[in-house]
Amino acid sequence: GGRSSTPKPSYVAGTANSDIAPEIPPSSPRAERFMTGARMVSFESLGDQSRDRRWREIIDAEDQLVAVVKAFGATLAAMDRRLQDHHSTTRARAEQLMAELDVAQVRMFSEFLEAKAPIERELREATRIDGKAMGVNGTRLLAAISAARDQVGAQTLVGESALAAADALGIDCAATGGPCRENPWANLVRDPAPWEAAFMSAVNIYKDGLLWVNSAHCGKSYAFDHNGQEEAGPEKFASVFRERGIIVRIVGARGLRDADDGPDEADTSDPYCTCQVEGPHYAKKTTSVMHDTEAPVWNHEMRFDKFRLADTLVFKVHDFDPGMNDAFLGTTFLTGAQALSGFHGELLLSQAGYHQEAYLEVHTQAAFT
């Protein structure tokens, strides 16, 4: 119990006096910290029990400190994980929202195309031959081009190069008396533009003054000005209704709807396309069937030997279903003027399905008969 009369030396690591706390391995990090602290404390005046109690206090304090450090480290690690999880969750949600916005924008654009379909159709209708005037109505054609040029988002609908071609002819927004408008679809990439081929076909017919009547394909020497008035040639009637050949190449389609509702996701539409001449010499030809695809490539060339400027080429796409009625996937057309002047590009398919933006690529050229 009492203070020892014989003083004991201070604790020195690595000596025989290190038996003060024999339960702590001298080689452990905890023991090293303990020994370092022991050197700073003089236990000369403490009895054995007081020294042991003091060592226990130091060890307990060290254990508590280690526990606090570990807990704090674990808390920081948990916070870091939560932040990472939150960042990942936030990023994933943002990406999901962006994808949903993209889908919504595409749907809105499809609705916009459906609403503006009559304007695109008029681009082609305006190139029809007027049977009474024996030519294309230039006033109507100019109005159709101007209307398309003045649409909201014309840059996306028609394409910059096609607009430049119209501008070069002086066909701009001023032609309709309205200001040029901004493009709400500027970040929506469409290459080629949905109306580009139909627009360029109309512009070229207008620019050439309907010179397809004065081309080598017709073998005539007639021309009409931009108002549909004859400039030269006494046999206008014969030139307009003369029969000639037409070569049609149906390249392919894209954006077709899936007409097969079976459980097999790989089993989709089996499309084919028909082309028929609407006129006195009705004729119809068909491509091959492409199986399980919504973007068929046919590259099918066909020739019609009796075709007139007053006739029409009608294209229809169907889904082949053996033993059943073939599902309808869309239709479009070209006027005789468009076909014989040479058409190269994509046409929007009408009746392609709800919010279905589908296209058919067609190339045509006149043929000698």
- Within-domain flag for 22: no
Please tell me the predicted confidence (pLDDT) of residue 369: 54
- Within-domain flag for 251: yes
Same-domain check for residues 340 and 288: yes
Please tell me the predicted confidence (pLDDT) of residue 2: 47
pLDDT, tens digit (0-9, with 9 covering 90-100), for 203-224 = 988 887 653 333 333 333 334 4
Same-domain check for residues 253 and 361: yes
Q: Which of 213, 236, 268 is a domain's end point?
A: 213
- Within-domain flag for 316: yes
Please tell me the predicted confidence (pLDDT) of residue 84: 85
- Within-domain flag for 2: no
Top mean-pLDDT range of 8-22, 121-135, 142-156: 142-156
User: 338 pLDDT exceeds 90?
Assistant: yes
CA distance to 71, 80, 82, 182, per residue, from 76 (Å): 9, 6, 10, 51
Q: Which of 198, 213, 228 is a domain's end point?
A: 213
pTM metric for this prediction:
0.70
- Within-domain flag for 116: no
SS3 191: coil
Q: Please give the tally of structural domains in the chain.
A: 2
Mean pLDDT of all residues belonging to the chain = 78
The whole-angstrom distance between residue 320's C-alpha and the CA centroid of its chain comes to 28
Please tell me the predicted confidence (pLDDT) of residue 264: 61
Same-domain check for residues 143 and 249: no
Its sign, for the CA torsion 99, 197, 186, 121, is negative
Q: What percent of the chain has pLDDT over 90?
A: 33
Same-domain check for residues 178 and 271: no
pLDDT, tens digit (0-9, with 9 covering 90-100), for 220-233 = 333 444 444 444 43
Q: Where are the alpha helices (DSSP H) in the chain?
A: 29-39, 48-115, 117-125, 138-149, 154-157, 160-168, 196-207, 236-241, 336-341
Q: Which two tokens stand for residue 249?
A: 């190449």
Top mean-pLDDT range of 9-13, 25-29, 324-328: 324-328
- Within-domain flag for 228: no
Residue 155 domain boundaries? 126-213
User: 255 pLDDT exceeds 50?
Assistant: yes
- Within-domain flag for 338: yes
295 Cβ contact partners less than 8 Å away, ≥ 6 residues apart: 252, 253, 254, 255, 256
- Within-domain flag for 325: yes
